[in-house]
Structure 1
Amino acid sequence: MLRHLFTLIWNRKRANLLLISEVFFSFVVLFGVGAVLITVGKNYLAPQGFESTQVWRLLVRAQQGQKMPRAELDDVLRQVKALPGVQTVALTSGNLPFTFNTNNSDFTYKGRTTPFANTYDADDHYAEALRLHLREGRWFRPADDGTHHRPVVISEDMRQYLFGDEPALGKIFTYNIPGKVTKPEDEFQVVGVVDNVRMESDFSAAIPSVWKRLIPYDTTHWETAAVLVRVAPGQGGVLQEKIARTVAGVTRQWSTEVRVMEDDRQHRRLFTLVPVVGLCLMGLFLIINVALGLFGVLWYNISQRRAEIGLRRAMGATGAGIGWQFLGEMMVVTTFGVVLGGLLAAQFPLLHAFDLPVQPYLLAIAAAAGAVYLITALCAWQPSRLAAAIQPAVALREE
């Protein structure tokens, strides 16, 4: 039977070449959309690695051309923390979660080099503010003031890149700067390891991360200070106003901005979803057009092959057999298109395109193949029924 179907397809190779091309492009479109949706969905279901609810971000800025002494800034933060409803205040760098501000570096340890990792400055209260989960070791503490190397906490994926399955605590790594003599300030000692974090958006993958300890009571002068403020449940605009007044009460030369981190999260979520939804709508439009084209081509083929169908029925073929013949021809043609599309799609995981793991690509290939077969079967079902309903006497009389 299969050999007979191949013979029929070969006899109509010009018409079937168009069908194979349509199936091929349908597969490619579905593969691309599927890879994006699977990657986004997998990232969304992965643990966030921290808790952003009840966290606000406070930005304190000095006037243009001026800077904030660290001692005066610490005094402001102590007064903010003393406000009723404020649970924790943590000083950090400007690359806060769900913002578009990033700070990346790559590091090395005994010949192992990491990809670009997110680096954060963090004080001793940062882990409490975001409720990071420690897997090994500890967070920063006052006893770290006199250490020779700058203490750091790294994420689990960063530990894998640097140390593999070896213990990480106490080890020292450096910036990856070829040809440059390593200075003490470029050496970092691991004191803790936390779960992987996804701070870009709900749909982003975890990125290796390093938190460097902010030394308290240093002489640094800040132009802009980023602060994480964890508040008690139910706090709102009244507390935000109190925080702004507290900062202004210390010095009116500084401006403040208080934003709810969940608002930033929603904004970043929409920013990510808009292009994904647009891609899905474009893919759906193309698939609908391809499906209509397949349906029309099959309908036309049946009208051109009425004499063949009538002759087969006259020789004893059943209506169901005729229907299955047309459906089988379409499935074989679809297989040619799927195989060609699969060969193209297989290049993506082989070349590690877009730095994605292999699994989403394999799932996208399987999903695209299943969807193409389903679409083709649905498009071929009604024309196959029409072919099965043709009576031999009617068909032969028309000829």
Structure 2
Amino acid sequence: MLRHLFTLIWNRKQANALLISEIFFSFVVLFGVGAVLITAARNFLAPHGFDYDQVWRLEVRAGQNRKMPRAELDDVLRQVQAVPGVRMVALTSGNVPFIFNTNNSVFEYQGKKSPVTNYYHADDQYNQVMRLHLREGRWFAPIDDGSHHRPVVISQDLRESLFGNGPALGKIFTWENPGKDPINYQDQFLVTGVVDPVRMESDFSAPIPSMWQRLLPYDTTHWETANVLVRVAPGSAGELQEKIARTVAGVTRQWTSQVRVINDERLHRRRYTLVPVVGLCIIGLFLIVNGALGLFGVLWYNISQRRAEIGLRRAMGATGAGIGWQFLGEMMVVTTFGVLLGGMLAAQFPLLHAFNLPAQPYLMAIGAAAAAVYAITAICAWQPSRLAAAIQPAVALREE
């Protein structure tokens, strides 16, 4: 039977070539959309690596062309910490979770370079606020005040890229291409701890290698803007936000402040990230529907052109069900050719590690695209196959 189907397909190779090309492009579209959706879903279900619930972002601004001395800023932090309902505060850099602000670079250890890495500035209380999960070592502490190198905590994925399976604690690495000149101690990073991979960009982003540099408590740097992470008691709402803002104004009325909820910013970033994904899905659905309609029309026309063949087969004893299964089988074989061609193209993505993605999402997308193409083809071929099965031999031969 299969050999007979191949013979029928070969006899109509020009028409079937168009069907194969249409199925091929449908597979490619489904593969692309599937890879995006599967990657987004895997990232969404993965842990963030930190606890953002009950964490607010306090942004303090000194004003245009003004600076805030560290002593006054520390006084603000102490006053906010004393507000009832505030559990812990931590000073950090501007690239807090879920906002459109990043600091990244490449680091080097004994000639081995890291991928692009997000780096953050954090004080000794940062981990008590964000609750990252320490895998090795410890967070910053006052015992690091006398260190000759900048203490840092790194994520597990950065640890693997720089140190492999070897020990990481106590190792010292630098920025990329440090050169031959003596390196300032603040550009030499001493690993004191390793935490789980984190996803601080959005709910749909993949983990990015990360590093947290210690903000020195005696640093006299002046900032125009300071970002403070505030962990609050469960159930805290707008009333506490107003208290925090009034507390900052009470310390120095020259500064302004804003309090935002990290979870609200996460939801805002999620909606922004979903826009291109939803747009891609709509375009893919539009192309698939048009392809399915075209396939349905081609099959319908194909049957109308083969009425004499169908009538002859029925006159020789073929059943209506047999005719229907013949047409359906032909389409499944033609679909297999299109899927194989599309699969050969899609297989290049995991082999080349395209877009720095692991192989698993691509393989899952290939399987999902193949299943969807077979399902769409079967649905499109079902009604024309029923039409072919219902043709009576006398009617078909009389028309010829």
- Which of the five TM-score ranges fits, normalised by the shorter chain? over 0.9
Map of 2:118 onto structure 1: 118
Give 1:352 shift: 2.1
Change in CA separation of 1:180 and 1:119 when aligned onto 2, cut-off 3 Å: farther
- SS at structure 2 position matched to 1:368: helix
Where do 5+ consecutive residues of structure 1 fail to align? none
Give 1:217 shift: 2.2
Map of 2:362 onto structure 1: 361
Map of 1:65 onto structure 2: 65
- SS at structure 2 position matched to 1:225: strand
Aligned AA for 1:148? H
Map of 1:140 onto structure 2: 140
Where do 5+ consecutive residues of structure 2 fail to align? none
Give 1:145 shift: 0.6
d(CA) in 2 for partners of 1:393, 1:370: 39
Preserved CA contact (<8 Å) 1:174 1:187: yes
Map of 2:339 onto structure 1: 338
Map of 1:129 onto structure 2: 129
Give 1:133 shift: 0.8
Map of 1:326 onto structure 2: 327
Give 1:252 shift: 1.2
d(CA) in 2 for partners of 1:71, 1:143: 21
Within-5 A mapping of 1:206-355: 206-355=207-356
Within-5 A mapping of 1:188-203: 188-203=189-204
Map of 1:53 onto structure 2: 53
d(CA) in 2 for partners of 1:266, 1:383: 47
Map of 2:8 onto structure 1: 8
Map of 1:108 onto structure 2: 108
- SS at structure 1 position matched to 2:259: strand
* Comparing 258-267 and 246-255, the one that deviates more: 246-255
- SS at structure 2 position matched to 1:132: coil
Map of 2:387 onto structure 1: 386
Aligned AA for 2:321? A
Taking structure 2 as the reference length, the TM-score comes to 0.98
Aligned AA for 1:317? A
Instruction: Provide, for residues 222-244 of structure 1, a one-character-per-residue CA deviation record: whole Å limited to 9, x for no partner.
Output: 11101000000111111111111
Map of 1:91 onto structure 2: 91
Give 1:178 shift: 5.0
Aligned AA for 2:236? Q
* Comparing 73-82 and 106-115, the one that deviates more: 106-115
Give 1:351 shift: 2.4
Aligned length, in residue pairs: 399
Aligned AA for 2:125? H
d(CA) in 2 for partners of 1:130, 1:344: 43
- SS at structure 2 position matched to 1:140: coil
d(CA) in 2 for partners of 1:308, 1:250: 93
Taking structure 1 as the reference length, the TM-score comes to 0.98
d(CA) in 1 for partners of 2:207, 2:180: 30
Give 1:336 shift: 1.3
* Comparing 338-347 and 49-58, the one that deviates more: 338-347
- SS at structure 2 position matched to 1:39: helix
Instruction: Provide, for residues 225-266 of structure 1, a one-character-per-residue CA deviation record: whole Å limited to 9, x for no partner.
Output: 010000001111111111111111111111111100011000
d(CA) in 2 for partners of 1:284, 1:193: 44
Give 1:183 shift: 2.5
Aligned AA for 2:276? P
* Comparing 310-319 and 192-201, the one that deviates more: 310-319
d(CA) in 2 for partners of 1:176, 1:327: 60
- Please tell me the root mean square deviation across aligned C-alpha atoms, in Å: 1.0
- SS at structure 1 position matched to 2:143: helix
Map of 1:161 onto structure 2: 161
Map of 2:25 onto structure 1: 25
* Comparing 195-204 and 177-186, the one that deviates more: 177-186
d(CA) in 2 for partners of 1:8, 1:180: 73
- SS at structure 1 position matched to 2:198: coil
- SS at structure 2 position matched to 1:65: coil
Instruction: Provide, for residues 316-341 of structure 1, a one-character-per-residue CA deviation record: whole Å limited to 9, x for no partner.
Output: 21222111110111011111111111
Percent identity, please.
Answer: 78
Give 1:165 shift: 1.1
d(CA) in 1 for partners of 2:273, 2:73: 35
d(CA) in 2 for partners of 1:90, 1:292: 59
- SS at structure 1 position matched to 2:219: coil
Preserved CA contact (<8 Å) 1:71 1:217: no
After TM superposition, where is structure 1 displaced by more than 3 Å over at least 4 residues in a row?
none
Instruction: Provide, for residues 125-175 of structure 1, a one-character-per-residue CA deviation record: whole Å limited to 9, x for no partner.
Output: 101101111111111111111111111101111111111111211111111
* Comparing 345-354 and 213-222, the one that deviates more: 345-354
- SS at structure 1 position matched to 2:186: helix
d(CA) in 2 for partners of 1:230, 1:131: 10
